[in-house]
């Protein structure tokens, strides 16, 4: 019923898992039900348990009424003992059936939370970089943790209480009808008033719960951003400003809670129940005085009617939990269903990469509202225009240009972090869009200036790209080649040292060397170096450069750098200016023919950082 292999909303994804279960994502409610119905025996067991439990409880109340009639008429110890044992058996059976129902309900809720979180995580892994650029990490974390947990609570105790309430309403009414149909008058009038009052309560509550979940996401996003940027906050003494922002967000969250409380305080069904109970007692007394009702029937009726107090009272909380769960599901489903630009193309081209890269009239733009340059600032229009060049297998191609020229953007098109707006990028003569994304990226390694390391051991960080297949000997060899082994062995636990999140316990140069070791270990056919030695001292850089020249033999390398020595030994140099390819060629050719290259090269040569690193070319140009 709910498994939908022909899902109407299937967006492109960069990553999927084999035999993935397909849920109905056309609406939050359908999505939740498709999750629950994945394990049909659990909700069916819960439903049966609640119905049987309510029936047994009502039967016990009717037996109490029979006992009263027996006492009034002519007490018989044997008959009373049978009724007492029957009531005990009914209540014990009621307890067992309720236990089974809540057991099944709790299992359903836990599996819903587990499966929804796993589905969201896989979906996030499959989203494009453009999608992730739009998200606030704190808000995503709020959806993956708190909103998913709200879905758990929506089922247990939320929806399960509603179903138990429904059973506790229908079954007693049927029992009252069997007892004496005239007694249904007041209960039916109560239901006629209860249902619209409950619908009014739910309509008032729904928008508030939606805003509450949204505000929680905003609160969490602000907190995550402040904690992530705590170094900047402290450096500029902006603690008071950040505290004010957090307090304002917290006040907004508090105000919504107060508004929710006001709605709950105006909950009318409890008042209606109190009035109805008094009327039902009066009706039963009137029938008794007219000799149309026995004492036992009156007692049984009031006991059965008292069961309606449970659904009346519990609806105050259960509907709130359901509304919060649906609001959370809507936010989660919004992430899952959000469009992404790239597809993994699992059936695409797979082959060992030789390393030829061809840009054929490539233009690219992030869009009006997207990050648009190497610096991450906003810009409009195209960031790259009509780029055409060829990198032959094994060549090292240096990419130079001023900040914002599009250097990093160009390299992101090779491994399909983004797709071209116009033109083609070909690897070994095949458009990258025709490659299987996994096969393409598995043979390309990127080392960026802003190195990301996981809060794991150093060995795990180096072996990250090897999918758990690297031996300790291979890890250490890669570290030796990246000139990282000595400082690693100086750490408390060597390669087993756990580093802080994003590698904050290491210096910039140490992080870059670990990233270089990680790239060496994956043995890529194409290597992209985005100013990857900027935080390394000159002596260490010389050692790494010698190791890299050995490693890079036979590999195609795209090199973004301002180090003159690296630019000079490149086989080809691309000069970018404002998104255009201003010139290309060898160093000597460009020095002779390109004014733009001479200006860039002279600027690098005059850079104090270049002079400080003792770059030999710097001294040549500056003379």
Classify residue 40 by its DSSP letter. Answer: T
Distance, in Å, from the CA atom of 197 to the CA atom of 191, rounded to the nearest integer, reads 10
In the chain, CATH 1.20.1560.10 sits at 28-337
**Confidence category of residue 551, pLDDT binned at 50, 70, 90:** low
Residue 467 pLDDT more than 70? no
Of 366 and 82, more confident = 82
| Fold of the 28-337 domain | ABC transporter transmembrane region fold (1.20.1560)
Of 202 and 363, more confident = 363
Q: Which pLDDT score is estimated for 440?
A: 92
The 384-391 sheet, strands edge to edge:
430-431, 422-427, 357-364, 384-391, 580-585, 572-577, 396-401, 556-560, 526-530, 444-447
Tell me the per-residue pLDDT of 9-68, one tens digit each, with 9 for 90 and over: 445 777 777 778 889 999 999 999 999 999 999 999 999 999 999 999 999 999 999 999
Mean pLDDT of 162-183: 91
**Confidence category of residue 541, pLDDT binned at 50, 70, 90:** low
Mean pLDDT of 180-191: 92
**Confidence category of residue 535, pLDDT binned at 50, 70, 90:** low
Residue 606 pLDDT more than 90? no
Q: Which pLDDT score is estimated for 373?
A: 42
Mean pLDDT of 574-585: 91
Of 568 and 374, more confident = 568
**Confidence category of residue 213, pLDDT binned at 50, 70, 90:** confident
**Confidence category of residue 540, pLDDT binned at 50, 70, 90:** low
Residue 3 pLDDT more than 50? no
Tell me the per-residue pLDDT of 481-530, one tens digit each, with 9 for 90 and over: 888 898 899 988 999 998 876 677 787 778 888 888 888 888 888 999 88
Q: Where does 357-443+524-622 sit in CATH, by number?
A: 3.40.50.300
As a whole number of angstroms, the longest Cα–Cα distance in the chain is: 124
Q: Which pLDDT score is estimated for 140?
A: 87
Looking at the chain, the number of H-run helices and the number of E-run strands are 25, 10
Of 5 and 230, more confident = 230
Instruction: Please name the residues in contact with 324: beta carbons below 8 A apart, sequence gap of 6 or more.
Output: 150, 153, 154, 209, 212, 213
**Confidence category of residue 2, pLDDT binned at 50, 70, 90:** very low
Q: Which pLDDT score is estimated for 53?
A: 94
What are the Cα distances from residue 370, in Å, to 36, 375, 449, 517, 579?
Answer: 38, 12, 21, 32, 16
Residue 7 pLDDT more than 70? no
Classify residue 144 by its DSSP letter. Answer: I
**Confidence category of residue 368, pLDDT binned at 50, 70, 90:** very low
SS (H, E, C) 386-444: EEEEEECCCCEEEEEECCCCCHHHHHHCCCCCCCCCEEEEEECCEEHHHECHHHHHCCE
CB contact at 8 A, 432 and 514: no
Mean pLDDT of 86-110: 94
In the chain, CATH 3.40.50.300 sits at 357-443+524-622
Helix ranges (H only) for 290-358 are: 295-306, 309-337
Maximum average pLDDT range among 234-238, 292-296, 379-383? 292-296
Q: What is the DSSP string of 428-486?
A: TTEEGGGB-HHHHHTTEEEE-SS----SSBHHHHHTGGGTT---HHHHHHHHHHTT-HH
Is-cis flag, bond preceding 157, omega within 30? yes
Residue 296's CB is within 10 A of a number of other CB atoms, namely 21
Residue 108 pLDDT more than 50? yes
Q: Which pLDDT score is estimated for 300?
A: 93
Q: What is the DSSP string of 190-211?
A: HHHHHHHHHHHHHHHHHHHHHH
Q: Which pLDDT score is estimated for 177?
A: 92
- Is the whole model's pTM more than 0.85, yes or no? no
**Confidence category of residue 549, pLDDT binned at 50, 70, 90:** low
Residue 381 pLDDT more than 60? no
State the DSSP H helix or E strand holding residue 80, giving kind and residue range, or none if neither.
helix 77-125
Classify residue 594 by its DSSP letter. Answer: -
Tell me the per-residue pLDDT of 430-439, one tens digit each, with 9 for 90 and over: 999 999 988 9
Distance, in Å, from the CA atom of 387 to the CA atom of 211, rounded to the nearest integer, reads 47
Mean pLDDT of the chain: 84
CB contact at 8 A, 115 and 35: yes
State the DSSP H helix or E strand holding residue 549, giving kind and residue range, or none if neither.
helix 538-551
Q: Which pLDDT score is estimated for 105?
A: 95
Distance, in Å, from the CA atom of 616 to the CA atom of 623, rounded to the nearest integer, reads 11
Residue 568 pLDDT more than 90? no
């Amino acid at each position: 019923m709910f498994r939908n292999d022909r899902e109407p909303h299937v967006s492109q994804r960069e990553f999927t898992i084999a035999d993935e279960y397909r849920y109905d994502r056309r609406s939050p409610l359908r999505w939740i039900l498709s999750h629950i119905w994945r394990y049909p025996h659990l909700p069916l067991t819960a439903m049966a348990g609640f119905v049987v439990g309510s029936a047994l409880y009502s039967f016990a109340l009717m037996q109490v009424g029979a006992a009263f009639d027996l006492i009034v008429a002519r007490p018989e110890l044997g008959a009373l003992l049978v009724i007492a044992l029957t009531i005990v058996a009914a209540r014990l059976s009621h307890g067992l059936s309720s236990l089974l129902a809540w057991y099944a309900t709790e299992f359903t809720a836990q599996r819903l939370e587990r499966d929804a979180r796993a589905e969201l995580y896989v979906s996030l892994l499959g989203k494009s970089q453009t999608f992730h650029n739009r998200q606030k990490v704190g808000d995503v974390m709020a959806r993956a943790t708190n909103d998913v947990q709200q879905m758990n609570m929506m089922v247990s105790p939320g929806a399960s209480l509603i179903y138990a309430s429904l059973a506790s309403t229908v079954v007693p009414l049927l029992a009252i009808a069997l007892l004496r149909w005239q007694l249904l008058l007041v209960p039916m009038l109560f239901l006629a008033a209860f249902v619209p009052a409950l619908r009014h309560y739910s309509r008032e509550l729904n928008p508030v719960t939606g805003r509450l979940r949204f505000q929680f996401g905003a609160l969490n996003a602000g907190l995550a951003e402040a904690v992530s940027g705590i170094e900047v906050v402290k450096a500029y003494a902006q603690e008071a400003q950040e505290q004010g922002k957090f307090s304002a967000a917290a006040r907004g969250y508090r105000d919504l809670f107060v508004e929710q409380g006001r709605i709950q305080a105006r909950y009318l069904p409890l008042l209606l129940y109190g009035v109805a109970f008094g009327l039902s007692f009066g009706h039963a007394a009137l029938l008794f005085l007219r000799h149309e009702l026995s004492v036992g029937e009156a007692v049984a009726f009031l006991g059965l009617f008292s069961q309606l107090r449970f659904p009346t009272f519990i609806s105050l909380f259960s509907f709130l939990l359901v509304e919060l769960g649906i609001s959370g599901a809507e936010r989660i489903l919004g992430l899952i269903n959000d469009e992404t630009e790239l597809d993994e193309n699992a059936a695409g081209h797979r082959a060992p990469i030789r390393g030829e890269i061809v840009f054929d009239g490539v233009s690219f733009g992030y869009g009006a509202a997207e990050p648009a340059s190497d610096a991450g600032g906003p810009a409009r229009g195209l960031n790259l225009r009509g780029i055409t060049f060829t990198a032959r297998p094994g060549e090292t191609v240096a990419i130079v240009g001023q900040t914002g020229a599009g250097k990093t953007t160009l390299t992101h098109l090779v491994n399909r972090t983004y797709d071209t707006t116009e033109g083609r990028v070909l690897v070994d003569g095949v458009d990258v869009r025709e490659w299987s994304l996994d096969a393409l990226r598995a043979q390309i390694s990127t080392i960026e200036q802003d190195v990301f390391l996981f809060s794991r051991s150093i060995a795990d960080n180096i072996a990250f790209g090897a999918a758990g297949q690297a031996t300790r000997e291979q890890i250490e060899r890669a570290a030796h080649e990246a000139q990282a082994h000595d400082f690693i062995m100086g750490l408390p636990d060597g390669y087993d040292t756990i580093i802080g999140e994003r590698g904050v316990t290491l210096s910039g140069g140490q992080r870059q060397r670990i990233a270089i070791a990680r790239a060496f270990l994956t043995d890529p056919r194409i290597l992209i170096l985005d100013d990857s030695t900027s935080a390394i001292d000159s002596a260490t850089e010389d050692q790494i450069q010698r190791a890299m020249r050995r490693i890079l033999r036979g590999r195609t390398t795209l090199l973004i750098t301002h180090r003159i020595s690296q630019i000079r030994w490149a086989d080809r140099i691309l000069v970018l200016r404002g998104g255009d390819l201003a010139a290309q060629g060898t160093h000597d050719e460009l020095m002779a023919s390109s004014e733009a290259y001479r200006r860039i090269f002279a600027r690098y040569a005059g850079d104090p950082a270049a002079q400080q690193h003792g770059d030999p070319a710097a001294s040549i140009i500056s003379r």
